[in-house]
Amino acid sequence: MSEPSKLVIATRASRLALWQAEHVQARLQALYPSCEVSLLKMTTRGDQILDRTLSKVGGKGLFVKELETALLDGRADLAVHSLKDVPVDLQSPFSLPVIMQRDDPRDAFVSPGYASLAELPDGAIVGTSSLRRESQIRAQYPQLRVKPLRGNLDTRLGKLDRGEYDAIILAAAGLRRLGLGERIRSLLGPDISLPAAGQGALGIEILESRTELAQWLKPLECADTASCARAERAVSRVLGGSCQVPLAAYAQVEGDSLRVDALVAEPDGSRIIRSHRTGSVAQARELGEDAARELLANGARDILARLLPPTT
């Protein structure tokens, strides 16, 4: 197979997105030393709208549309995304041929004055941009106040440091990638805050017609992470994955088996429906679909019907 001579990576211009794109850039340059790998830095609608929560402005797909346009018009060959930002119903002409090795998928508790959620006093303000996190925190710590928190990682940390919040919840992977691991006071296990589908993993998007490019990228794939992601994204797909619904899905490879945990919740945390499935890694997608169907059968259908707009 021939090797690429030039590749352009489309990326958001935020510091974390650039770290992720530069990580892929370095991996590709190590694989193909004679290839010129460059970055196309872009600002997306999701980066521009900071005064409303994602659930009110169109969801996480706002972070990928401009990058997809760059793929379509030939300005870029591939786009690097946080996998949790990639819509689970990715449509032709796009494909997601590579899911890279996952970093820590857990949520992180960040606070200048407290070591954990349990230490926060009654009425303390916790910031998060995620209905998934909010519902789980409200369920277990109803004495806390949860307020919306938007902006890139540095913006969110700045709001915390100015005293607008007593604590904030962020993805551990993002903090560690930017060398901010020391800001993590504690990590929230899946029993406290079940992660979002794909959290901690990077996905590479291309045009599905670029079959040779898919082969060039294949060495970046992590088989275990890809299996987990297939299961998690299947949960979201069956449930109509949306920022308007608090839902979580987390899979773990255990030997030859895969365990999938999933939940759907009321935004106020008054009700959380959980399911889990264990089976063969080869059946990752089916396990995720089964976990989602169990949620629907146990009451998630009612929550979804109330929170999601009717389809036309």
Query: Residue 183 above 80 pLDDT?
Result: yes
Average pLDDT over residues 233-257: 92
Report pLDDT digits (tens) over 267-278.
999 999 999 999
Q: Which of 48-57, 58-67, 236-245 has the weakest average pLDDT?
A: 48-57
Average pLDDT over residues 139-168: 95
Q: Which two tokens stand for residue 269?
A: 């945390």
DSSP string, 234-259: HHHHHTT--TTS-EEEEEEEETTEEE
Tell me the fold of 1-100+201-221: D-Maltodextrin-Binding Protein; domain 2 (3.40.190)
> Domain extents for the chain?
1-100+201-221, 107-188, 222-312
Query: Residue 211 above 60 pLDDT?
Result: yes
- Annotated catalytic, 256? no
**Helix axis angle, 153-161 relative to 15-31, nearest 10°?**
140
> Which CATH number does the domain 107-188 belong to among 3.40.50.620, 2.60.90.10, 3.40.190.10, 3.30.70.240?
3.40.190.10
Report pLDDT digits (tens) over 117-127.
999 999 999 99
- Placement of tokens 């190590």 in the chain: 30
CATH class (in words) of the domain with range 222-312: alpha beta
pLDDT for res 58: 46
Name the residue with higher pLDDT: 220 or 51. 220
107-188 matches 222-312 in fold: no
Residue 33 identity (one-letter amino acid): P
Quickly state the pLDDT bin for 194 (edges 50, 70, 90).
Answer: very high
pLDDT for res 129: 85
pTM of the predicted model as reported, rounded to 2 decimal places = 0.90
* Contacts for 273 with CB less than 8 Å, ≥ 6 apart: 263, 264, 265, 295, 298, 299, 300, 303
For residues 195 and 199, what is the distance between their CA atoms, to the nearest angstrom? 6
Q: How many CB atoms lie within 10 A of CB 89?
A: 11
| Residue percentage of the chain with pLDDT more than 70 | 92
Query: Residue 49 above 90 pLDDT?
Result: no
Residue 136: which of 250, 268, 299, 292 has the closest Cα? 268
pLDDT for res 152: 85
Beta bridge partners of 252: 259
Q: Which two tokens stand for residue 45?
A: 């609608």
For residues 39 and 20, what is the distance between their CA atoms, to the nearest angstrom? 11
Q: Which two tokens stand for residue 107?
A: 């949520």
Active-site hit among 47, 73, 77, 85 = 85
117 contacts 109 by C-beta, under 8 angstroms: yes
> What's the burial of 146, exposed, middle or buried (CB within 10 Å: 0-12/13-18/19+)?
buried
Beta bridge partners of 6: 36
What is the residue-averaged pLDDT of the chain?
A: 92
Quickly state the pLDDT bin for 57 (edges 50, 70, 90).
Answer: very low
DSSP state of 310: P
Q: Mapping DSSP to helix (H, G, I), strand (E, B) and coil, where does residue 139 land?
A: helix
Query: Residue 61 above 90 pLDDT?
Result: no
